[in-house]
Structure 1
Amino acid sequence: MSLQERVRLPATLTDRGDAALPAWPMYVLLAGFPVWWLLGAAPFAPMTVAAVMATLMVLRRRLDLVPGILPWFAFLLWAAAAAVSLPSAMSLVGFAQRYGNLLAVGIFMLYYINARETLNARKIIGGTLCVWATVVVLGLIATQAPEVRLSTPVGALLPPALTSNPLVHDLVFPRMAEIQRPWGAPEPYERPAAPFPYSNSWGVAFVVMTPVAIAALGTFRSTWGRAAILLLLAASVIPALATGNRGMLVGLCVAIAYVLVRMGCRGHLLRVAALGTVAGTAYFALVATGTLEQILGRQKYSDSTGGRFSLYAETLEATLKSPLLGYGAPRLEESIGVSLGTQGQIWMLMFSYGFVGLGLFAIFLLSGIFRTWHARGNTGLWLHSVPVAAAAIAAFYSFDVLQLTVVALTLAVLLRARPFSETLA
């Protein structure tokens, strides 16, 4: 029995399951992201594209799986069951939106795994690079025009009953920056957020996409293309520091340190020395210019760390009262005025879907990391650092559908490459 036959699990319904899945839906999802955002349709794009992909896979009438993908769908089944814990029929709307995004992420992975004839690692890296470039460019614009808010066609079409909701309003009339004025601060904090509603979301996106941008340096054949990536990498420091996002710095440090250690173990000492020199120079520049002190200084006026730990304790205590299925979705705790199940992916999963749901998600992420431990080449190492960094910041930050899509697709690339001996560069 060949390797391919051992790892492929076909579910053939007819004998006409050999048609190749087209690549264009993935291009629409990733390379088309800037257009979706400008239209105000970014919140609806993932489920729309996922519906198209699911239709194409059904018409193809054959589904191939690879080891490491099934825990995600076990997680989806458990999350669906958690709907019984919702407090009212109205809360089904928010649950459906969140669950639809999780289902879409699973469909994206399945589509990539089954589109071997048309999609490869380089195309996923290129598509993710388009999203990363959008994040960086909009972050730069936000540092210069923080108070600008975009008017979009979708926002104009939606009824006022929907756009009056603060979150919906921020999604369809996106702002460039999140402007915070904590009590006692000498001046407001203007933190880049676009193309997301919150600055923390910008930081999470930057963490999970920057390693992919670095990996793209090894896949681009064009000198001009590599130069453009290097220029954007240098320019991205400006909006990244402007966010004042400590967790983002932690995630980036984890990704870079991880790659350096793995490169050192593989004997690539010159590359380790070069990357270490760049990272060390950047650190000392942050300290010497006072930028790092400025980022950490936000704690003087906003005790976000202390507030988070208090919220974590409340969330854990509440989950212990409903440990299996959780509560279906985050809930406002009126005594503290904050929703439990926010402030971190781990806490959202635990509160919404119980300890079992959290465990299934952790199995997917951690088993995926271990299964793809031997990712080949420098490109493989940088891609592998994406789920590693995601695991490192999951306790502090929630993942929007786009960030989760990047993490899941990166794992799908690595999981598919292993059994089929695919190249990543």
Structure 2
Amino acid sequence: MSRAAWPVAAFLVGYPVWWALGFGGLSVIVLAVPMAVLLWRRRPIKVPRGFGLWALLLAGYLVSALMLAESPPGTYGELGPGRVVGYLMRLALYTSVLVMTLYLGNLTERELPQLRLVRMLGVLFVTTVAGGLLGVFLPGFSYTSPVELLLPEEIAENAFVRNLIHPTAAQTQMVLGYAAPRPEAPYEWANAWGSNASVLLVWFVVGWWVYGRARHKAFAAAVLALAAIPIVYSLNRGLWIGLGLSVLYLVVRVGGRTRVVTCGLVATAALAFVLSPLAPLVAQRLDRPHSNDIRAFTVSATLTAATHSPVIGYGNTRNATGSHRSITTGKSAWCPTCGHPPLGGDGQIWLLIITQGFTGALLYAAFFLGAIRRHRRDRSPIGLAGVLVMGLVLLYMFVYDGLVTPLTLYMISFALLWRNS
């Protein structure tokens, strides 16, 4: 591996170390600094088609800071350190993932071969599976990270920041009528684990199965079999839908003998799953759509609030007054994590609408739609996988927050498509 590729390897292969230290998804901000310096030294810098949309998204987020002190009807709260820290952290993340994308696109094939980058994403998938298994079998595992110890208490105790810097194996939620642990290691929350697992699984299959030799394929089969355990125990319907649509996409897009082999593998895996002890858990989860009412309330409140600043939004999230059940909410002995629900917390599109208005949401969607339109004719394995991931981004923006790690992986996938062209 060339010296120029070390920041990418440090993020993808070294991610468990970042997570253990308490940086986790914030490591992209740390690594964006050397990437930016190296990029500057190799001017002129190439930019991808669609770059202007992301630049406008960033510019719009800067403008949205003008509304940080405002609270729309149906919300409450005053401008304080937590709101400012959250805004600055999101701004740093949006900027950092752009730097990483440009860095990847400006590396030559000799400096970082495509297959090596894909396989590094596959290594992160193995890490994701290991973290998921930790969440299933040791859900109570957590500890105070070095970063958490160094930060001032008022910042470290901020809910958004704490999720990023406090390593935990699982997120316990009342999903099945009782407290059920949902794997989240090595990411910031359970939904981030689900989004990342599905995206990384796509690249793992490409790098270690499609382009793999016999020993690579045997390893891939073993990892995928193990991955089924945390995927089911994540109780993550968005992840399950994403995987189902991914299979459908592959069956439609690939042809000939590959389609026959794909269908055979899928049928075998489906039969093995139905006969396994995991199938009843999936049925139980589908019978208890507990979060539907909560999501309906927060989405409705988000749209209502956004109509009062539809162009530039409010710079950061706001807490709703009340909830879907009552005009009063708060912590209790049986629900210590309860409270006023934050608006924009049920999907990246809703986050953008409250933070950057409908303009930001349109720019975000247009960026990834443009990638699909430009690369839809690329029928190489990397091209097919990249377009699939862009489609998953558009699906997941309605149910998953893109920040922190999911957006980084989305943009690395975008960079792979760009490099492939």
Partner residue, 1:234 = 225
Select the residue among 295, 300, 304 that pairs with 1:317.
304
CA drift of 1:394 comes to 1.4
Select the residue among 17, 23, 33 that pairs with 1:41.
23
TM-score normalised by the chain length of structure 2: 0.87
Partner residue, 1:157 = 150
Q: What aligned pairs does 1:358-377 form with structure 2 within 5 A after superposition?
A: 358-377=361-380
Partner residue, 2:234 = 243
Maintained 8 Å contact 1:214/1:382? no
Maintained 8 Å contact 1:139/1:239? yes
Counterpart CA distance in 2 for 1:225 and 1:152 is 35
Select the residue among 194, 201, 209 that pairs with 2:185.
194
Q: Deviations over 1:265-322 (max 9, x none)?
A: xxx2332222223323444555555745533534666620122122211211211221
Indicate yes or no: 2:36 matched with 1:54. yes
Maintained 8 Å contact 1:208/1:390? no
Counterpart CA distance in 2 for 1:232 and 1:221 is 14
Indicate yes or no: 2:343 matched with 1:343. no
Select the residue among 73, 97, 100 that pairs with 1:105.
97
CA drift of 1:247 comes to 0.7
Indicate yes or no: 2:11 matched with 1:22. no
Q: Deviations over 1:317-353 (max 9, x none)?
A: 2112211001111110122221111101111111111
Partner residue, 2:120 = 127
Maintained 8 Å contact 1:122/1:219? no
2:266 counterpart letter in structure 1: A
Select the residue among 275, 279, 293 that pairs with 2:266.
279
1:232 counterpart letter in structure 2: V
Query: Kindly tell me: are residues 413 and 226 of structure 1, through their superposed partners in 2, closer, same or farther at Cα, counting changes over 3 Å?
Result: same
Partner residue, 1:396 = 399
Q: What aligned pairs does 1:374-393 form with structure 2 within 5 A after superposition?
A: 374-393=377-396
Residue aligned with 2:167, SS: coil
CA drift of 1:381 comes to 1.3
Select the residue among 256, 259, 278 that pairs with 1:269.
256
CA drift of 1:43 comes to 4.0
Query: Kindly tell me: are residues 282 and 200 of structure 1, through their superposed partners in 2, closer, same or farther at Cα, counting changes over 3 Å?
Result: same
Select the residue among 69, 73, 82 that pairs with 2:55.
73
Counterpart CA distance in 2 for 1:156 and 1:304 is 34
Query: Kindly tell me: are residues 289 and 57 of structure 1, through their superposed partners in 2, closer, same or farther at Cα, counting changes over 3 Å?
Result: closer
Partner residue, 1:258 = 249
Maintained 8 Å contact 1:258/1:385? yes
Partner residue, 1:13 = none
Residue aligned with 2:24, SS: coil
Indicate yes or no: 2:99 matched with 1:96. no
Counterpart CA distance in 2 for 1:192 and 1:316 is 30
Indicate yes or no: 2:415 matched with 1:412. yes
Residue aligned with 2:342, SS: strand
Query: Kindly tell me: are residues 29 and 375 of structure 1, through their superposed partners in 2, closer, same or farther at Cα, counting changes over 3 Å?
Result: same
Stretch of structure 1 that moved more, 140-149 or 61-70: 61-70
Residue aligned with 1:325, SS: coil
1:205 counterpart letter in structure 2: N
Query: Kindly tell me: are residues 279 and 157 of structure 1, through their superposed partners in 2, closer, same or farther at Cα, counting changes over 3 Å?
Result: same
Counterpart CA distance in 1 for 2:218 and 2:268 is 20
Maintained 8 Å contact 2:382/2:416? no
Percentage identity across paired residues of the two chains: 28
Stretch of structure 1 that moved more, 66-75 or 78-87: 66-75
Q: Deviations over 1:246-275 (max 9, x none)?
A: 110111111221121011xxxx23322222
Counterpart CA distance in 2 for 1:147 and 1:174 is 11
Select the residue among 200, 206, 215 that pairs with 2:206.
215
Query: Kindly tell me: are residues 188 and 103 of structure 1, through their superposed partners in 2, closer, same or farther at Cα, counting changes over 3 Å?
Result: same
CA drift of 1:396 comes to 0.9
Residue aligned with 1:23, SS: helix
1:363 counterpart letter in structure 2: A
Q: Deviations over 1:181-223 (max 9, x none)?
A: 46x82x4312111112321111011121111111113565554
CA drift of 1:119 comes to 2.2
1:155 counterpart letter in structure 2: E
Give RMSD over aligned pairs.
2.3
Uncovered stretches (5+) of structure 1, i.e. residues with no partner: 1-19, 419-425
2:125 counterpart letter in structure 1: W
Aligned length: 393
Stretch of structure 1 that moved more, 293-302 or 201-210: 293-302
Counterpart CA distance in 2 for 1:311 and 1:280 is 38
Maintained 8 Å contact 1:46/1:401? no
Maintained 8 Å contact 1:193/1:202? yes
Counterpart CA distance in 2 for 1:319 and 1:147 is 38
Query: Kindly tell me: are residues 68 and 169 of structure 1, through their superposed partners in 2, closer, same or farther at Cα, counting changes over 3 Å?
Result: closer
Counterpart CA distance in 1 for 2:150 and 2:60 is 35
Maintained 8 Å contact 1:102/1:401? no
Partner residue, 1:12 = none
Uncovered stretches (5+) of structure 2, i.e. residues with no partner: 70-78, 324-339
Stretch of structure 1 that moved more, 310-319 or 358-367: 310-319
Counterpart CA distance in 2 for 1:342 and 1:199 is 13
Partner residue, 2:327 = none
